[in-house]
Structure formats: C-alpha cells, structure tokens
Amino acid sequence: MTHPDMTESLVSIIIPVYNVDAYIGKCIESCLRQNYRNIEVIAVNDGSTDSSGVVLENYGKRDHRLTVIHQVNRGVVAARNAGIAAAHGEWLIFVDGDDYVTDNMVETLLFEVKASDADIVFGDFYLEKAKKCSVMSNSLPFGSQRSAIASALLTNKLQFSLCAKIIRSSLFMGISTPEDLKLGEDAYITVQLCDKAHKIALTGIPVYYYVMRKSSVTHAPSMAAVASKLSFIAYIREFYGDKPYVSEDLFMHSFATFVMNEYFAYLRMGGERKIAPQWLRDYVDNTCLNDKDALKNLPVWRIWLLRAYRKGDLWGKIIRWSILKLRIALSLSYDR
C-alpha cells in the first residue's frame, strides 16, 4: 500500500502513560515498528508511580523518534494536551499505554486520508480478551452529513474512542475538555472533532489492539469516575443542544439511546439514582423508556435495569447486583 504523497506528511503518535510498566514496552515497540517511517512518538508520563518513566527513557535512548515528557499527575486529559502541544505532525494518532497497534496502522490510515481527502479517518479495533480477538468495526449507516455522523457516534456505530483514528492536527484548535472529566473525556473530544471536520472516512481495517483486562470487570471505579458519567452526559447534551438537527427524529432517537447507555453505565457502576439530576431521571423515565426506536438499540438487560430503577431504588439495586454477578461469572468463565 503506497501513495505518492504519503512521504510528505509527518505523523505524531501521542501516548498518555500512567502506571502501565507491564505493558508500555509492547505499546512503544509497536508504534516504532511502523512501516511508514516519517513519524514521531510522544509519550507523556503523567506522574507514574511505577517504573513506566524508566522504561520510556530507555526506549528514548534507543530511538530518536521517541520523545518522553514527564509531568506531575494531572490526568489523561492533561497528558493528551501536553502531547498535542509538543507534536510537530500534520496528523495525530492517539494510543493508550496498555494497548498496541498493527505494524501498518499509520500507513493504512494515512492512505485513506489521501484517497478520500478526509480530516479524520476511523480504523477498526481488535478487541483482545484472554488472548482471543474479535473485531469492533465502524459504520456510517445514516449517511455522511453532520447529523448522521452525530447519530452514528451516539448509537455506537462509530467508536467514541480517540484511538484507532488519524486526525488533522489543526482540528484541535479551539477544542477543549475539562480536566475533571474522568470518564468519557476522549468521547467528548471525538464528538467535537467530528462536528468540526469537513469530511470523515472509514478504512474498514483493524489497526489497533484494545486489550480488555480482567480488572476492568471486577474492580470498582472511583466515586469521582462514577460521578463523571453524569458530567459526561451533561456535556454531550450541552454540545448538541444548539445544533440545527437537534429536533430531527433520527438524532432524537440516537440521543435517547446514548443517554440510556450512559445512565445504565452510571447505575451499574454503583451510582445513586437520587444523585442524578432531575432532568436526567425524568428524561430517561418518561421519554427514553417510551422511545421504541431507541429501545431497539439497547441490550435487554440494560432496559431491565432502567425500568427497575424507574419502579424503585430497591428493584434497581437487585437487578444491578444480578447483572454485576453475571458479568463477573462470564468473565471468569471466559478466562478459563
């Protein structure tokens, strides 16, 4: 796969790093091993308390294309922003420090950029769990207009993650994310970028290994992270609130789908219904759970939980407990 203009573009790969010393070596090696050679890799060590910083420095001594930045712990948003500020490339790619990428990731994404004249190109994911892989793909089933792209994002037809994408660096001018947003921070950036881009394109090719670890199922998130789910919903609502397509049927069904999925996640992680703002509870209970088109997009157990909480907190907590036990059992069974 080659293109006559590809060698002209510098691509910056940005990796926020925090306490991933067991995985960061594999991540860095996969980024430096790219078939496309005109790259720089910027790893931002966000105050790691393990040996991640030492590992990064050792790799930096071996390959001049790796720049290592050390900063006090401020969270993934600040780490990404530091990487963006240090980047020299016309194009940016983001990789999480505990994941890794295919050898042709940059080449594949950049080829599609040149072929389609897009500002953002989405690659697909390999979802790796217990050394078994499945593919998470992207699609544009509703068309390529901004409203259709927004609906695809809100219904998970397009992946919210900043990873597995190549993005024109100039798009980040004017894009901001609150540093206190613990969950959904990359999704909030993605919706802003996609709304700003003149065109997005899809490769249909997996380029990124997203590694799911057992701890992500069995370990409880912090209360700050749980509360951040409510902030994330509010930020997305505010962002789309003044868009000209906000009253279109497709968008309204898609937004209802998004809210139910995120509110389900908040409740499943242990969030208290009484803490959620009244508008959100009313919207889920009276609008979302009566939206037949939106309900078609949700797994049945999510609908069960939301309806149970509408009936009462005790019913909701019983269903939540059952779902959590089932998730853990399935995870343990999968790992055997």
Mean pLDDT of 145-164: 96
Instruction: List b or e across 91-116, with b for residues whose CB sees 16 or more CB atoms inside 10 angstroms.
Output: bbbbbbbbbbbbebbbbbbbbbbeee
The percentage of residues in the chain with a pLDDT greater than 70, rounded to a whole number, is 93
Tell me the pLDDT of the chain averaged across its residues. Answer: 91
pLDDT for the residue 334: 40
The larger pLDDT score, comparing residue 29 to residue 131, is at: 29
Residue 119 · residue 197 · CB < 8 Å: yes
pLDDT tens figures, 257-269 = 999 999 999 998 8
The larger pLDDT score, comparing residue 109 to residue 227, is at: 109
pLDDT for the residue 214: 64
**Angle in degrees, CA 202, 36, 166, rounded to 5:** 30
pLDDT tens figures, 196-220 = 999 999 999 999 999 987 654 435 5
pLDDT for the residue 200: 97
Return the structure tokens found at 291.
């939206």
pLDDT for the residue 330: 56
pLDDT for the residue 222: 79
Mean pLDDT of 136-161: 96
pLDDT for the residue 176: 80
pLDDT for the residue 181: 81
pLDDT over threshold 90, residue 322: no
The pair phi, psi for residue 230, each rounded to 5°, is: -65, -40
Helix crossing, 223-240 with 249-268: angle to 10°? 170
Residue 239 · residue 192 · CB < 8 Å: yes
pLDDT over threshold 50, residue 335: no
Return the structure tokens found at 10.
């510098």
**pTM of the shown model:** 0.91
